[in-house]
């Protein structure tokens, strides 16, 4: 890779490595039994989409510490994309989401392999759970076998444990809060632990630790990564309800049907008058919502200025993140790349 930051070139490298690694693993499964073909196919396709920002943050955590481009580091960074793939398979299963990137989610797609069998729906869900579990195991394998020296890997292992613990904690917090009274503080805590940390902060710190970064640089990367990770998920909240499903690949009413603790819903609830709350409460958790209900919810959210409030939170967090890059701890090249990643992560509307 040239010294300049080439997001498209980086994504191509990540995609190629993922494809090769997962194709080999799929063949190992098929060597056990051809009946595993549907599972092997889901393993290959689950990580196929995305902008590869988690790998990029890991890469630039490494580069920010003064290390050069490295194929071994790239393999370690790509493991972050397998963590993400595992998390999305499990998240879609928990939320019973039918679509991601405009395609059937694994627990839906796998039903075709079980068509006509008793309990096919439940069996497909079980298979999807195991696909997610295997993706997480493969993430650890790719990281450990990246080719980096064992001493480098040892520096980052505690952060791997923190990543898994906090990702699971965030998912559990969301499950526990789903269906309860919307609360901005609860929503922001779910955002931080379920998405923000494993999307930005943890990959950055893993890359930095692999590189032997100083405590001061790691503090700078955390100060950048946490608010940016929150901005990333806040943007997802907005896109989830107000985005074009043809571009987001998700159903617009998923969060309302699931009565999930999004910051957007919490902001609307806090601003609503009693009659508006009653109206909103009557829609939350319903499975029969249609396009008319979607227009209704959007109009109510706009009237309550909830989208504006979330946009303000995003803007403030991106500004805070970028401000922390203005130190001598971060090289000009890393600062330029991380600033570009900040805007790419927080504004995905184009």
What is residue 91's predicted lDDT score, i.e. its pLDDT?
93
* Residue extents of the structural domains in the chain: 7-346
What is residue 2's predicted lDDT score, i.e. its pLDDT?
40
- One digit per residue, the tens of pLDDT, for the chain of length 350 reads 445 679 999 999 999 999 999 999 999 999 999 999 999 999 999 998 889 999 999 999 999 999 999 999 999 999 999 999 999 999 999 989 888 888 999 999 999 999 989 999 999 999 999 999 999 999 999 999 999 999 999 999 999 999 999 999 999 999 999 999 999 999 999 999 999 999 999 999 999 999 999 999 999 999 999 999 999 999 999 998 998 887 777 778 888 998 999 999 999 999 999 999 999 999 999 989 999 999 999 999 999 999 999 999 999 999 999 999 988 788 899 999 999 999 999 986 54
Q: What is the 3-state secondary structure (H, E, C) of the chain?
A: CCCCCCHHHHHHHHHHHHHHHHHHHHHHHHHHCHHHHHHHHHHHHCCCCCCCHHHHHHHHHHHHCCCCCCHHHHHHHHHHHHHHHHHHHHHHHHHCCCEECCEECHHHHHHHHHCCCCCHHHHHHHHHHHHHHHHHHHHHHHHHCCCCCHHHHHHHHHHHHHHHHHHHHHHHHHHHHCCCCCCHHHHHHHHHHHHHHHHHHHHHHHHHHHCCCCHHHHHHHHHHHHHHHHHHHHHHHHHHHHCCHHHHCCCCCHHHHHCCCCHHHHHHHHHCCHHHHHHHHHHCCCCCCCHHHHHHHHHHHHHCCHHHHHHHHHHHHHHHHHHCCCCCCCCHHHHHHHHHHHHHHHCCCC
In CATH, what number does 7-346 get? Answer: 1.10.600.10
Q: What is the pTM of this model?
A: 0.94
**Whether the Cβ atoms of residue 99 and residue 105 lie closer than 8 Å to each other:** yes
Number of other CB atoms surrounding residue 256 within 10 Å: 24
What is residue 350's predicted lDDT score, i.e. its pLDDT?
43
What is residue 100's predicted lDDT score, i.e. its pLDDT?
87
């Amino acid at each position: 890779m040239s010294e300049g930051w080439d997001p498209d070139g980086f994504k191509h490298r990540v995609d190629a490595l993922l494809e090769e690694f997962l194709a080999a693993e799929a063949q190992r499964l098929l060597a056990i039994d051809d009946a595993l073909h549907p599972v092997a196919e889901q393993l290959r396709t689950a990580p196929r989409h995305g902008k590869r920002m988690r790998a990029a943050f890991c890469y630039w955590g490494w580069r920010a510490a003064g290390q050069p481009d490295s194929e071994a580091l790239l393999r370690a960074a790509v493991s972050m994309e397998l963590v993400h793939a595992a998390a999305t398979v499990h998240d879609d299963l928990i939320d019973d989401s039918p679509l991601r990137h405009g395609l059937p989610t694994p627990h839906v797609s796998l039903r075709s392999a079980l068509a006509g069998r008793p309990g096919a729906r439940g069996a497909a869900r079980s298979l999807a759970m195991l696909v997610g579990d295997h993706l997480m195991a493969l993430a650890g394998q790719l990281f450990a076998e990246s080719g980096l020296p064992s001493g480098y890997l040892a520096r980052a292992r505690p952060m791997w444990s923190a990543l898994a613990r906090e990702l699971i904690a965030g998912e559990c917090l969301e499950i526990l809060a789903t269906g309860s009274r919307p609360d901005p503080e609860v929503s922001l805590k779910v955002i931080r632990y379920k998405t923000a940390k494993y999307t930005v902060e943890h990959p950055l710190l893993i890359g930095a630790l692999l590189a032997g970064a100083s405590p001061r640089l790691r503090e700078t990367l955390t100060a950048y990564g946490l608010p940016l990770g929150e901005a990333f998920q806040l943007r997802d909240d907005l896109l989830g309800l107000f985005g074009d499903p043809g571009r987001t690949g998700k159903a617009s009413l998923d969060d309302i049907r699931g009565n999930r603790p999004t910051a957007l819903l919490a902001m609307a609830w806090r601003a609503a008058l009693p009659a508006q709350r009653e109206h909103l409460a009557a829609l939350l958790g319903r499975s029969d919502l249609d396009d008319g209900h979607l227009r209704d919810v959007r109009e109510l959210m706009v009237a309550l200025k909830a989208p504006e409030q979330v946009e303000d939170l995003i803007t403030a967090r991106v500004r805070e993140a970028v401000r922390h890059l203005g130190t001598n701890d971060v090289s000009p090249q890393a600062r330029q790349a991380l600033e570009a990643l900040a805007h790419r992560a927080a504004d995905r509307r184009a």
